[in-house]
Amino acid sequence: MKIGTWNVNSIRTRQPHVIDWLNTNSVDALCLQETKVIDQDFPKSPFEELGYHVYIYGQKAYNGVAIFSRQPLEDVTTGFTPIVGESLAEEFDEQKRVITGVCNGVRIVNLYVPNGSSVGSEKYDYKLRWFKVLKQYLTKFLDESNQELCICGDFNIALEDKDIYNPKSKENHIMSSPLEREALQDILSLGLKDAFRKFTSQGGYFSWWDYRSGGFQRNRGWRIDHHYLTPKLYKKAVKCTIDIEPRKLTKPSDHAPVIVEF
């Protein structure tokens, strides 16, 4: 079983790239972030024609997540609210960042973590508080079932210095600040592990490069798109790779897809 994650930075703009990629990469499920489209305008049929069931949770202009799955998903829910309740989640579900469903007994949780803008900003505070609700959300799934979890998406955090091209200049930068890393570590303390790091301990592997200043050409990247797995699934993982090919195309997303295989 292969599960991909890809921040496409607009599904309507990236539709040809995603179709081409799916035609040459046989994933069982693909988690998308930053679809940037309301549900009624999501281009579902091109992906259904490729044999995928399409589950979407979008909004106008910003954010938006989707899961494409070869098998129908069970128990699909969107947002935090159905899991943690309205009082905790209300503020956060205005932004469409969370969708989950069960595929072959594995619960896939697809996340688009808030960017945070800059350290100390209001959006940064929002990002840190978003993680506290995420912990409540994931705890429900971990406590109330013995399902295995694959939590993937754009985390907007590089967990270690080796996940950044030039860490010395990023010591208190957005996506690598100590409080952000603590927030993500607190999630991992639930018993989750980074699939990519099962196979690759070296640095220099990135999943996002800034459009500006020739970031990709100069390989000035960050590894911020991840798959986090519960212990049994982590043991079963046989591969986790970043496919930088789509990032080389004209009009690319600024992120590359990442694929885990069990």
Partner DNA sequence: ATGGCGAATGCAATTCGA
Q: Site for DNA (CB under 7 A): which residue of 104, 117, 136, 241?
A: 117
9 binds DNA (CB under 7 A): yes
Q: Which is nearer to DNA, 71 or 118 (CB)?
A: 118
Q: What's the CA gap between 248 and 197, in Å, rounded? A: 24
36 binds DNA (CB under 7 A): yes
Q: Site for DNA (CB under 7 A): which residue of 2, 10, 139, 245?
A: 10
180 binds DNA (CB under 7 A): no
Q: Find the part of the chain contacting DNA (CB under 7 A) among 3-11, 65-73, 76-84, 186-194.
A: 3-11
Smallest separation, CB 175 to DNA (Å): 5
Q: Find the part of the chain contacting DNA (CB under 7 A) among 74-82, 110-118, 145-153, 236-244.
A: 110-118
177 binds DNA (CB under 7 A): no
- Binding residues vs DNA (CB under 7 A): 7, 9-10, 12-13, 34, 36-37, 60-62, 114-115, 117-118, 123, 154, 156, 174-175, 208, 210-213, 222, 224, 251, 254
